[in-house]
Amino acid sequence: MAAPAPVSPLAVPLPALPPLAGVRLAAGAAGIRYQGRTDLLLVECARGTTVAGAFTRNLCPGAPVDWCRAILPAGRARGLVVNAGNANVFAGRAGLAAARESAVAAGRLLGCPARQVFLASTGVIGEALPAGRIPAALPALHAALAPDAWEQAARAIMTTDTFPKAATRSARIGGDEVRLNGFAKGSGMIAPDLATMLCFVFTDAAIPAPALQSALSRAVGASFNRTTVDSDTSTSDTVLLFATGEARHPSVPERGGRLLAEFRAALDDLLHDLALQVVRDGEGASKLIRIAVTGAVSSASAKRVAMAIANSPLVKTAVAGEDANWGRIVMAVGKAGEPADRDRLSIAIGGVWMARNGAVAAGYDEAPVLAHMKGREIAIEADLGLGTGAAEVWTCDLTHGYITINGSYRS
C-alpha cells in the first residue's frame, strides 16, 4: 500500500533505435504543464513520405484526432508534432484553432503545407491549450532535428508512463532490407476498440498509402486492440505509420500483396511489442496477464469473452493479491454475454487446469498455481468447449497504485 513505484516492476529496457533514412526528430519543452522535462516532439519526414493511421473510436475525440482524420485521406506526411500534458480535448473551437496553429507553424518550418503535418496531444482533458506556446517552441526544435533522437522522442510524449516505450524491427521487401522504428506512450485510459494512446511507427520502405493503411489496420487489430488496462477508451488514441521511401527495394503496388508479407509480419511483431510495453506500464500494474480463450463459437466471441475477463476488476484484483480465484474467471465468462455453457467450461492458470467441464478438476492441487501467481507474468486460459474460436488478449492487474495515480492525477 505504498505509493506507486517510480518505475513499473514490469518495465523492459529501452532498445537502441538506429537512425532511419528520411526521419529526423527533436524534443523540447513548451512548458504547457510539466516543469523540468521535455513535453514537445517535432518529427520531420522526407518528401514523398506516405502515411497510415488508426484513431480512437471514442465519440468525443480530441481536436488533434479530428485534424489527423481530416488530412489522412491524402496519404502524405512531412511532419509530426506531439505535445504531452494537455490533450486538447473538449476545448471547442479554441481547441481546433490551437491544433491548426501548430500545424501551420510546423509546416512553415518544414517547408510543407499544414495539411501534411500530423498532430497528437495527450494529457488532461478539457483545459484550453495555451495559445502560441507550441508555435513559439517549434523553431528551436526545428534547429535541433537529428536522426538519432529516438529516445528523446519516446520520453517527450510520456504522461503517467513510468518508462519510455520503443521497438525496432527489420524486414525484407523483395530481398532488400527495410527498417521499422516505433515508439509509444500510454498507461491509463487504455481499452479496446481503439488504437491505444499514442504510437508512432516509421519505416524507410516505399509503400503506397493504401497498402500501408491495410497493413496498419491489421496490425492494430492484432495488437493494441487486444490489450486493456482499465476498459476506459481514451479520446486521443492515435497510431500513425510513416513510410519515408528512402530504402531501395522492388516497387510495392498500391494494394501491397505478397511482396509485403515479411514487412507486415515485422509490423505486427513491432506493434505487438509496443502494445505489451503499454500494458506493462499500465497504471499501478504489478503483473502482466495473458488471457487465452479457446473453444468459443467464433474468434470474435472468444475475443469478447477474453476482454470480459481482462476488464473484470475482480479478476484483476485477485491477480494483484496472488489469489488463484478461478471462480471470478467463471463469473467473467458468464457475464460476457457470449455463448457459454457452464458445464463445458474449463479454466487453467499457469497451465494447470483447475476446473474441467463445470466443476473442480479431479485431484486439483493448488500449490503449483499459487507458485505461478507469485510471478510477474500470469497466464489464464478458458476453454468454452463449444467450437474452435480462439483469441488472446493482454492486460495487467488492478492495484492500489492505480487508485493512487488516478485519485490525484490532476493535483
- Per the listing, cell 491505444 goes with 196
Q: CB-wise, 27 or 318, nearer to its own copies?
A: 318
Q: How far is CA 197 from CA 62, 236, 237, 238, 317, in A?
A: 12, 6, 4, 6, 24
What is the number of H-type helices and E-type strands within the chain?
Answer: 11, 16
CB of 89 closer than 8 Å to CB of 126: yes
Coil, helix or strand for 131? coil
Under the binding rule (CB under 8 A), the answer on residue 293 touching its own copies is no
Residue from 45, 345, 386, 393 binding its own copies (CB under 8 A): 345
Where does this chain touch its own copies (CB under 8 A) — which range of 23-31, 74-82, 129-137, 314-322? 314-322
Q: Do residues 90 and 65 make contact, with C-beta atoms less than 8 angstroms apart?
A: no
CA separation for the pair 315, 310 (Å, rounded): 7
Where in 166-225 is the site for its own copies (CB under 8 A)?
188-189, 191, 193
Of residues 127 and 246, the one with the C-beta less far from its own copies: 127
User: Residue 9 interacts with its own copies (CB under 8 A)?
Assistant: no
The reply on whether position 159 binds its own copies by CB under 8 A is no
337-349 b/e (C-beta count within 10 Å ≥ 16 → b): ebebeeeebbbbb
Grid coordinates belonging to 405: 495515480
Q: Which of residues 352-391 bind its own copies (CB under 8 A)?
A: 354-355, 357-360
258/362 with CB nearer its own copies: 362
Place of cell 467450437: 387
State yes or no: residue 332 binds its own copies (CB under 8 A): yes
Q: What are the distances in angstroms from CA 115 to CA 71, 99, 355?
A: 6, 11, 56
Taking contact as CB under 8 A, which single stretch among the options 22-30, 109-117, 227-235, 254-262 is the one that binds its own copies? 227-235
First to last CA, the chain: 20
CB of 195 to its own copies, least distance (A): 13
Binding string, residues 250-289; x marks residues near its own copies by CB under 8 A? ----------------------------------------
In the complex, least distance from residue 340 CB atom to its own copies, rounded to whole angstroms: 5
Q: Which of residues 83-102 bind its own copies (CB under 8 A)?
A: 87, 89-95
Task: Check 196, 227, 228, 244 and give the catalytic one.
Answer: 196
**Distance of closest approach, residue 230 Cβ to its own copies, in angstroms:** 5
Look up 233 and say whether it is catalytic. Answer: no
Q: Which is nearer to its own copies, 230 or 268 (CB)?
A: 230
Q: Which of 410, 411, 404, 339 is nearest to 1 (CA)?
A: 404
Touching its own copies, residues 110-139 (CB under 8 A): 124-128
Residue from 47, 248, 255, 335 touching its own copies (CB under 8 A): that is 335
Which is closer to its own copies, CB of 213 or CB of 301?
301
Cβ atoms 234, 197 nearer than 8 A:
yes
Which helix (H) or strand (E) element contains residue 330? Answer: helix 326-335
Assess contact for 3 and 404: CB atoms under 8 A. Answer: yes
Q: What is the set of active-site residues?
A: 196
